[in-house]
Amino acid sequence: MLHRRIGVLIIALCLLHLCLNAQTPITNAKSRIRLNQVGFYPVSPKVAIVVATKKTDFLIKDLKGKTWFTGQLIPNSQPAFSGAYTFSADFSAFDKPGRYFIEVEGLGNSYEFQIKPNVLQPVADGSIKAFYYQRASIQLDVQYAGKWYRAAGHPDDKVFVHSSAASEKRPAGFVISSPRGWYDAGDYNKYIVNSGITMATLLSLYEDFPEYMNTVKLNIPESQNQIPDVLDEVLWNLRWMLTMQDPNDGGVYHKLTNARFDGMIMPDKADSARYIVQKSTAATLDFAAVMAQASRILKKFPKQLPGLADSCIKASEYAWTWAEKNPVVIYNQDAMNREFKPAVVTGTYGDRNVGDEFFWAASELYLATGKDDYFNKITLSKGELARVPSWANVKLLGYYSLAQNSGIDAANHPEIKEIRTRLLNMADIFIDSAANNAYQTVMTKSKVNFNWGSNSNAANQGVLLIKAYKLSGDRKYLDYALANLDYILGRNGTGYSYVTGFGSKSTMHPHHRPSIADGVVDPIPGLLAGGPNPGMQDKIQLPSLFPDEAYIDDDQAYASNEIAINWNAPLAYLANAIQALQKKLH
């Protein structure tokens, strides 16, 4: 018995040793030279960050070992959150197209990268194509999905009205058809609130860069029609959203969901009953805003989409009317489950403050209709501190649309000038002293950026900076937007490229059911991992709790390694905007 216990103890110690080693950060040269692992435009700023202890030279070499550029590491004035000191390797002056790596004397070599025009086009395309892989109710054919082809899941043609959503004309158990839409994140449910910010960001991408987005071809089933592919993808979710409005009163159901999350199975194997749950003010206003914005854009395609723009604006105004009559219907899942069955324990998206949703919806409805009744609902609080958008804070989405719409008579609406000033002031606050921190990005200025879905903060900061550039023409905003994209693609505290399928050291094990269950080694490409989050809400041990290092590439780590449509959308905006503006990076 004693020998057996000793043997068990030895095995346990060995396993502990292996686990500890697995969580120990790699200290080889590649992990200590942090850079955009995809590459750089010939004319753009080019910076790598080196975790080192002394100033030395660095070399840019091609894959045959020939040296093309020599520079000296420059110490950054602030250490990383861990206390480690970093150095910048700036090779912006080097513009010869090719494949290269950085060699740091006494340290070693970086991951390979490219310099060439359109170098980030694969990332830009892939970040939108990722939404195709998230489609519900459709088979993904091999000609479009490649090795990630799969059977159709969730036809959602027989969805039950949950008892919390019951009404006289739609009692509990009433069946509706609500197909299409995107799976929200690593799960298979569909949520109006999170679709709101996602749709707004993708629609804004097209609205801001129509000429470039008209050229983007994603190899999706609709690619041969006369509608830009990004809008084709948006339409897949928009047509689902329209089914979530109650035709009897204009209110919008909060989500379409299972009662519980599915296991780690493929979509076609997930056959649990599906429900639409109670309406909410937040969902209804997000719906109203999206439909108004969509109507503005889709009216440019009357032949391809006859009547759709009109349907969208009618649905939007109907939703607004319901929200005004029901201004504080808050989705509280715990309270709902105490009163109604079956209990629903999937994602809540329970927003308790809907003032920002009213602001955003009123902004979009004013721009779509020109009715001053909507503009009169837009109020600017003195001294308010705006934040980058999130599903729970969408006010800045209204700012974006109002600030950039040239059709508004600013003389009669002085609020527009104030909004533009606020956006530029916010961008200036972001970039102030960003050059001093360890990674020289806006994202790495503050610990508060590193929460659940932190990489979406980096992407949304980049979106704001692009908006500031479009308003001002000042290239400083564009440069820092690019730096945040560099952060996402490897210039960060972990050395990971957080976009699946892009970079030598990219996320391989996202918390994403199809990527886990499909039997394909590589994850579905183009997905943005959540990113560093020391909160550990999933109880998965992290290799470091320093804010920018609190990440693990583990498919059980949903607090740092899940994916979500509202995180991918700002990545898609940022990467495609940079592509469209690459010639302005001189």
| CA–CA distance, 271 with 155 (Å, rounded to integer) | 10
Q: Which residues contact 338 (CB under 8 A, 6 or more apart)?
A: none
Q: Which residues contact 524 (CB under 8 A, 6 or more apart)?
A: 130, 133, 148, 500, 501, 512, 514, 515, 518
Beta bridge mates, 185: 564
DSSP state of 562: B
| CA–CA distance, 186 with 135 (Å, rounded to integer) | 12
| CA–CA distance, 91 with 73 (Å, rounded to integer) | 10
Q: What is the 3-state secondary structure (H, E, C) of 366-435?
A: HHHHCCHHHHCCCCCCCCCCCCCCECCECHHHHHHHHHHCCCCCCCCCHHHHHHHHHHHHHHHHHHCCHH
DSSP state of 479: H
Residue with tokens 């969805």: 159
Q: Which residues contact 157 (CB under 8 A, 6 or more apart)?
A: 177, 178, 179
CB-based contact 360:290 (threshold 8 Å): no
DSSP state of 33: E
Catalytic residue among 103, 233, 518, 562: 562
DSSP state of 300: T
**21 φ, ψ (degrees, to nearest 5):** -65, -35
Catalytic residue among 187, 233, 548, 553: 553
**486 φ, ψ (degrees, to nearest 5):** -60, -40
477: left (phi over 0), alpha (psi -120 to 50) or beta: alpha
Which tokens in the block code for residue 273? 């009953």
Q: Which residues contact 370 (CB under 8 A, 6 or more apart)?
A: none
* Nearest 10 degrees: Cα torsion 164, 165, 171, 177: -130
Q: Are strands 275-276 and 74-75 parallel, antiparallel or unpaired?
A: unpaired
| CA–CA distance, 336 with 351 (Å, rounded to integer) | 14
Collapsed DSSP state (helix, strand, coil) of residue 335: helix
Residue 356 annotated among the catalytic residues of the structure:
no
Amino acid at residue number 103: E
**H/E segment holding residue 88:** strand 86-90
Residue 105 annotated among the catalytic residues of the structure:
no
CB-based contact 416:410 (threshold 8 Å): yes
Of 107, 101, 93, the closest CA to residue 56 belongs to 107
Q: Which residues contact 494 (CB under 8 A, 6 or more apart)?
A: 25, 532, 548, 549, 551
Of 60, 62, 91, the closest CA to residue 74 belongs to 91
Amino acid at residue number 242: L
Could you give the residue numbers annotated as active site? Answer: 553, 562
